[in-house]
């Protein structure tokens, strides 16, 4: 399916004096599309001690130049989160961003509370990943919703969620990657076109190495892509790999496994999968009859993962949240009327989503 043919439909719901984006579809398999340079993210940031220097888009993104723009926020806190403009422009969301700010100090990850906004979330994820690496972990997973801290997969259109992930990955890297390590950190996006979009927007001007897992083929309209041989992409100086949302095409996770086998196993390198929606594979979303190699990953590859930061929400009267911040336990939370979260259940091993939805939440 050609990604350039897809059109997003974005609506808005008025909430007091802000406009919050909602969408008519949550189909994750919808093809991605890419905007013109004018629709790239204009990042006006104040990084302080962050690893990479401030950067701004070469072409401004003023509101009056973009039709159908909707002001919104990715933070439900006190205004310290990243502010952005949602714009329907060539079917891809653009952002006008004020990067997140806040205390860059450490937190006690063994007793972490549910984050109040994405500023706090990114700090928690950074601390969790650093703690895991200090403990000798090499293969990490970070997973959380990007359409709002209480959202579920599908609440926003797939392309919009990917764009949100891209923005948050850049902000995570600014916290997680020391300046001297930037050129030895390689960020893999799902495909070559996504890399081009990243370079024109969220990752413009940064020192991180940007790469891709797959590239379009002559049969892309039928859902086919060409896997990239990882041995040809990895460089000897690479130390850390961060893989960005590898769930659009089934080949992407197969390439991630190849990257792990060929470039991480037997070395001191680290690999972090960021918002890979691996629960699809864990839950059997892909039938083994049609996707035998992908289904096999649940037995061969996923057990090697350490999920260091994780948020998954469950909607409904008996809804709640599955939350984990390494090295803490897995907890099932429910938001009280006061706005705070109460712990309903905790355990050391990751429960299945089915177990949480059918056994734990209904019983409390």
Within a domain: 27:
no
Residue 88, SS3? coil
Token pair recorded at residue 60: 């401004």
Contact (CB, 8 A) for 346 and 129:
no
Q: Is residue 165 part of a domain?
A: yes
Q: Which residues pair with 83 in a beta bridge?
A: 73, 98
Tell me, yes or no, whether 22 lies in a domain.
no
- Average the pLDDT over 187-198 and give the result: 95
On the question of pLDDT at 102 being above 50, the answer is: no
Q: For the chain, how many structural domains are there in total?
A: 1
Query: What's the mean pLDDT in 282-308?
Result: 94
CA gap 137, 307 in Å, rounded: 10
pLDDT at 300: 95
Q: For residues 41 and 154, which has the higher predicted lDDT (pLDDT)? A: 154
* Over residues 241-245, mean pLDDT: 97
DSSP summary character for residue 89: B
Do the domain assignments include residue 324?
A: yes
- Whether 41 is in a domain gets the answer no
- CB of 57 closer than 8 Å to CB of 199: no
Q: What is the pTM assigned to this prediction?
A: 0.72
- CA–chain centroid gap for 91, Å, is 20
Q: Coil, helix or strand for 120?
A: helix
**Is residue 101's pLDDT more than 80?**
no
323 inside domain: yes
CA distance readout (Å), 173 to 145, 177, 272: 18, 5, 11
> Which strand ranges, in their side-by-side order, compose the sheet holding 320-325?
225-227, 209-216, 185-191, 240-244, 270-274, 139-143, 306-314, 320-325, 330-335, 341-347
Would you give the DSSP letter of residue 235? -
Residue 115 placed within a domain: yes
pLDDT value of position 230: 82
Q: Say how far apart CA 158 and CA 147 lie, in whole Å.
A: 10
Residues 291, 281: Cα–Cα separation, whole Å: 10
pLDDT at 225: 58
SS3 247: coil
- Residue scoring higher pLDDT (221 or 135): 135
Structural Rg of the chain based on CA atoms: 20
Cα 92 → chain centroid: 17
Q: 102 φ, ψ to 5°?
A: 140, 180
* Range of weakest confidence among 240-244, 284-288, 327-331: 284-288
- pLDDT category, 302, cuts 50, 70, 90? very high
Residue 58 forms part of a structural domain: no
- Domain span including residue 112: 106-363
Contact 145, 155 (CB under 8 A): yes
In the predicted structure, residue 105 carries a pLDDT above the cut 80: no
User: Above 90 in pLDDT, residue 80?
Assistant: no
The CA distance from 196 to 192, in Å, is 7
User: 73 is written with which tokens?
Assistant: 């926020």
Give per-residue pLDDT as tens, 246-271.
Answer: 998 888 999 999 999 999 999 999 99
């Amino acid at each position: 399916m050609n990604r350039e043919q897809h059109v997003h439909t974005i609506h808005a719901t008025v909430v007091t004096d802000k406009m919050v984006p909602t969408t008519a579809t949550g189909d994750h398999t919808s093809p991605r599309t890419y905007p013109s340079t004018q629709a790239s993210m204009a990042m006006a940031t104040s990084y302080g001690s962050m690893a990479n220097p401030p950067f701004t888009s070469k072409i401004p993104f003023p509101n009056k130049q973009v039709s159908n723009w909707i002001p919104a926020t990715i933070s439900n806190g006190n205004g310290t989160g990243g502010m952005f403009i949602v714009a329907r422009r060539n079917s891809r969301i653009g952002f006008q961003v004020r990067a997140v700010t806040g205390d860059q100090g450490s937190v006690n990850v063994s007793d972490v509370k549910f984050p109040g906004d994405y500023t706090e979330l990114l700090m928690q994820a950074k601390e969790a990943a650093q703690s895991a690496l200090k403990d000798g972990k090499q293969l990490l997973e970070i997973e959380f919703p990007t359409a709002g801290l209480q959202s579920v997969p599908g609440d926003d259109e797939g392309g919009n969620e990917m764009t949100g992930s891209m923005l948050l990955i850049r902000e995570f890297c600014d916290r997680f990657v020391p300046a001297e390590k930037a050129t030895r950190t390689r960020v893999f996006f799902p495909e070559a076109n996504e890399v081009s979009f990243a370079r024109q927007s969220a990752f413009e001007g940064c020192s991180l190495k940007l790469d891709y897992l797959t590239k379009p083929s002559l049969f892309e309209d039928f859902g086919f892509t060409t896997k990239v041989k990882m041995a040809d992409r990895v460089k000897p100086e690479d130390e850390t790999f961060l893989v960005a949302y590898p769930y659009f095409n089934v080949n992407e996770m197969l390439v991630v496994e190849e990257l792990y086998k060929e470039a991480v196993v037997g070395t001191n390198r680290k690999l972090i999968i960021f918002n890979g929606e691996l629960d699809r594979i864990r839950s059997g979303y892909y039938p083994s009859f049609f996707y035998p190699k992908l289904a096999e990953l649940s037995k061969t590859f996923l057990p090697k993962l350490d999920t260091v930061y994780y948020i998954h929400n469950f909607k409904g009267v008996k809804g709640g949240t599955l939350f984990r911040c390494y090295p803490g336990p897995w907890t099932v939370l429910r938001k009280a009327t006061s706005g705070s979260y109460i712990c309903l259940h905790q355990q050391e091993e990751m429960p299945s989503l089915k177990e949480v939805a059918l056994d734990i939440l209904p019983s409390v």
